[in-house]
Structure 1
């Protein structure tokens, strides 16, 4: 059996795509015994063999968990790191041993004091001024908030699985989300959650402003060519723009917009039509009235980030993904 598996594993790196696909199908059919043989290929990220091996493990799913745990517990040592990554990718934190979870928590505590967050994503985010983490957690009814590095928070809430469907008490389907609250940057905390904000941004910005006084939502969708920004104060919409909204604008122009709006005759050559109704670009708005995610690296930072979930019955461990730390 081991010789057959070894031959199939070598074919995963074949030049022929058909040959790689046939080897992958054969390995999946053999099941759990192939797992230790696939792990060495994971050291070669981005190569055809490494990618094919990872796809094999993903297709094996839960059947791969027991042999991966065996490698974590008993080696060989050179494969233990790859086994840990695949355990998290396939089964989330719940698939890890108590010792592995404790080791991750220790590493987070070590990295937190000196972490360098770097720039943050600027596709969709919420900005809240002068709010404590507890205020945001309470406003959004979040649960199990725990300290994380910025890299870990973004991995969990943006780059990996960040929403889960599960049965509600009444038998209907419910969705649980992961939400990342950043450190404070010059008085502002940013809130991330790819699926959470995509599906709930209007409710989120309203609830945050009702509890914290003010909240902004920003969206830059390069795929659809959509811009959206929204300012809510004390639970009420103040000002907003949506590329595909009907209407596009709500509220009266803010002071920073009035400074940019042209006073000249619309028929004159100097009339700046771009700012005739207000400012459309969310990043330009953020730079004027809050903070831009792409420049936080140079801003004063206070504290660290927090990762939370929206459902008390769905903990962090059920979300799949090997998180950065």
Structure 2
């Protein structure tokens, strides 16, 4: 039987960012250096495939520090943790390695700097997301006010409307965040913003690639986890950019083939914590069913690399 022709628009950049790559390396190097088990507080990155692979190598994933034995190393996830977590690890004299993405750490430093200057912080982020919890936890209770959407700005009750600064979660939709920032600046003209945008280069680049290919796609599939903020934002960006069918899939088994019946072109991208092997798996699934031609959609080149913490580079 002849296969129907199908164009796969393949977004670039896609998949792993430098922060995710570094976090995974930290877990692997810690197991190599100290042996298994090595404990990890929260999923190191939001991807089941990655977490399961590290679990097989000897990583034990826990929700809270209390679940970790005192005599084994513990790693903090790429999303960052509240200040109280390393403090508790130090109090228990635990060996810990912080895998917080350097671009998230930059936001933590920024928030602390504004706080030291006497400003109250407004954080644009998703309530309950580990990165938001970690950033808000850098400062004392009440020093960081959270907003998710422009409508939240009207309800803010800062102690001084002229002494405010804002920071953002690094994995938000660029366009949605711009709307919240506009609402903040309209209500609080004196509010201080970041020197450089907090939304990270990888999130921005992946969203731009989706915007570029969306008008040419009958459908867009984003390879990523349902708890991955940047992956979910890619789905929203695809839909907003004119693609009527944009879906998140964890891997090829999740593709709803009936919904794709009759299509001629599909865009494929992946969130920053999805490994390339899962993208290849999705492409192979399309090749099994269609006569596929691949069209790379390249909107940026990435060559960012972050060093692992010094303790892992030292012998012994």
Please give the range of the TM-score, normalised by the shorter of the 2 chains: under 0.3
Instruction: Please report the TM-score for the alignment, with normalisation by the length of structure 1.
Output: 0.24
Determine which structure has greater relative contact order: mean sequence separation of CA pairs < 8 Å that are 6+ residues apart, divided by chain length.
2
Instruction: Please report the TM-score for the alignment, with normalisation by the length of structure 2.
Output: 0.24
More helix by share: 1
